[in-house]
Each structure stands twice: as C-alpha cells, then as structure tokens.
Structure 1
Amino acid sequence: MTETARLSAGDTAPEFSLPTDNGDRLTLKDLRGRKVVLYAYPAAMTPGCTTQACDFRDSLGSLQAAGYEVVGISPDVPAKLAKFRERDAITFPLVSDEDKSVLKAYGAYGEKNNYGKTVMGVIRSTFVIDENGVVERALYNVKATGHVAKLRRDLGID
C-alpha cells in the first residue's frame, strides 16, 4: 500500500480556501487566533459520517468554551453539504474539497483498507491546529463512533 504523506505535531497546517455548505468560502487564515479542530470524513449523510458530525455538533458548546472551532471537510459538493447541515442540524462549517487537494495535503486522502480491499479514499482523520496555524495533533484512521469523546478527553475538556 502506498503511504500518504502525513502531518505530525509541529508541522505548519496547509493553508486552504474552500467553498462551504452555505456558499461562502472559508480559509484557514480566517481562523487565525483561534484553535481549530479540522476533521476529514468520507461522505456526508452516510451512517458513520452522520454519527461523527452529530457527535461534534453535540460537543460544540464545550469545544468552543475551551477555545476550539470545528470544521468538517469532505469531497462532497457544497449542495450535498447544505442538505447534510439542514438534515442533521450541523452547527459548524462544512467545507467542500471536490478535487481532494487539501485532503491530500493533510495526508487524509490515499490508499486505505475498506472491508479487506485496498481502495483510494478519504482517510477519516482529525487535526488540532493552534492559533498560529501549527498542527498540535494529527490523528489518522479514527473511528466514527466514540472519537469525539476521546478527543475531548485528550484535550482535557471532559
């Protein structure tokens, strides 16, 4: 299996400027001065991705109280992201990376095992980025269920 270049703590987070679910653009520079949890997920409105998004939604208050903004990134088109946001009352930005260039820059797109087969796709990942745009944590192959609770514990939020 080909290894995708992965980020590590201390790396500068790759910049991005991507369309959001509501038609705006969001850049990493827009978030300077705030801590960011950027999480990559394969596809809006699938069971695992819905569970994960709803866990982030339900934890958003405590994450924001601790100084974190949450942003979800997937290769879905903005219209699909808008449906996802509306259907599941997602209360944080969802950004569209249709050409997967940002996902690749973060090491969150590449070969992975899916039900015993090697396929190309989004590697479910979470990145904690500090106020200056530096990666504090780069977590790859995270589970959709229980990941947000573990992240909160690891960040000392619980």
Structure 2
Amino acid sequence: MPENRLVAGEPAPLFTLSDANEQQVSLKDFAGRKTVIYFYPAASTPACAKQACDFRDNLNTFAAAGYQVLGISPDEPKALAKFAAEDSLNFPLLADPDHRVAEAYRAWGEKKNYGRTYQGLIRSTFVVDEKGLIEVAQYNVRATGHVAKLRRDLGLD
C-alpha cells in the first residue's frame, strides 16, 4: 500500500464544506458519532448514482448502527442539489470543487483511463470513529457492490 494513504488509527482530517443547499457542514458537526465519508468523482453519472443509491437504500442500517453518511465530490452545490433530487438522496452531499479535502484524505491523485494519465478523484471510503480517528480507509473502491462490502466489513449484516 502506498505510504501516503491514510490508515486506521490516524486522526481524520477536519473539514468544512458546503452542502447541496450551500449550508456549511463540518466533520466536527458529527463529533462523538461514527461517520462514513465517501468520495465519488461526479454527481449524476451512472456509477456515482449507483453508489449513492446503494448508500440511500442502506441508510437505515447505517443509522441504526450509529453511522452518519457523507458523500463528497468535486461538484458545485448546484450540481449536488440536482443529483440529490434526481435520486432522492437523503444524506448530505458536500462540494469540494478545489479538491482540498480529497487531497487531505489522499483521495485525489493519478488516474489512468484509456491510456491517458491525469489527476482526478480516486473513489474512496473512510469510516471515522467517535474520537475522530480513521477506523477504515478503503481506496479504489468499486461503485457497484461497495456498500454491501462495507456493511460486511463493519459487521452490519
């Protein structure tokens, strides 16, 4: 595993970002709660919609176990609002257009697609415990099936 990735036991990088309604949401808002933070490349794309809908459809299971779910992408709040409305998403989507939070979580980096190398968002998921420490750090996750795997990993099944 590359040494620049976050690992369990490290403090989760703090952040404050705008949500789809342009309200400020901070990781500190969820202090004392377990928080699932997932980074996805783009609102309203098929793979990202599939992943977001999987979180939506499993939100009650996460909530019952004490987890808050937050989605973060490089999109602007207006695009997030449209995405949330299109797919009836019922958890906060946060805008990180300058990808500074993605960089802090090491979820921004080199990608390869069709022989082209570029900088972009690496689909990643983090679980932050009640003390603000990284409990789980998963990089290069797949959009399809990831939520089910995360549920298994967290013992929620």
Aligned to 1:144: 143
Q: Does 1:42 align with 2:41?
A: yes
2:13 maps to 14
Deviations, residues 18-68 of structure 1 (Å, cap 9, x unaligned):
000012111010000110000000000001000000000000000000110
Q: Superposition RMSD on alpha carbons, in Å?
A: 1.1
Task: Classify the secondary structure of the residue corresponding to 1:156.
Answer: coil
Alpha-carbon distance in 1 for matches of 2:52, 2:95: 15
- CA–CA distance in 2 between the matches of 1:25 and 1:13? 18
1:115: how far off?
Answer: 3.2
| Secondary structure of the structure 2 residue equivalent to 1:137 | strand
5+ residue gaps, structure 2, are none
Segments of 5+ residues of structure 1 without an aligned counterpart are none
Counterpart position of 2:62: 63
2:102 aligned counterpart, secondary structure: helix
- Distance in 2 between residues matched to 1:95 and 1:30, nearest whole Å: 13
What TM-score, normalized to structure 2?
0.96
Q: Is the 8 A contact 1:125 1:142 kept in 2?
A: yes
Aligned length: 156
Counterpart mapping for 1:1-158 below 5 A? 5-158=4-157
Contact 1:4–1:107 (Cα < 8 Å) also in 2:
no
Structure 1 segments, 4+ long, off by >6 Å, are: none
Identity %: 60
Name the TM-score, length of structure 1 as normaliser. 0.96
Cα distance between partner residues in 1 of 2:74 and 2:3:
17
Q: Distance in 2 between matches of 1:4 and 1:47?
A: 31
One-letter identity of the residue aligned with 1:150: K
Tell me which amino acid in the other structure corresponds to 1:64: A
Give CA-to-partner distance per residue, 1:58-114, whole Å, 9 cap, x none: 000000001100000001000000000001000000000111100000000010222
**Residues in 1 aligned to 2:103 and 2:57: alpha-carbon distance in whole angstroms:** 28
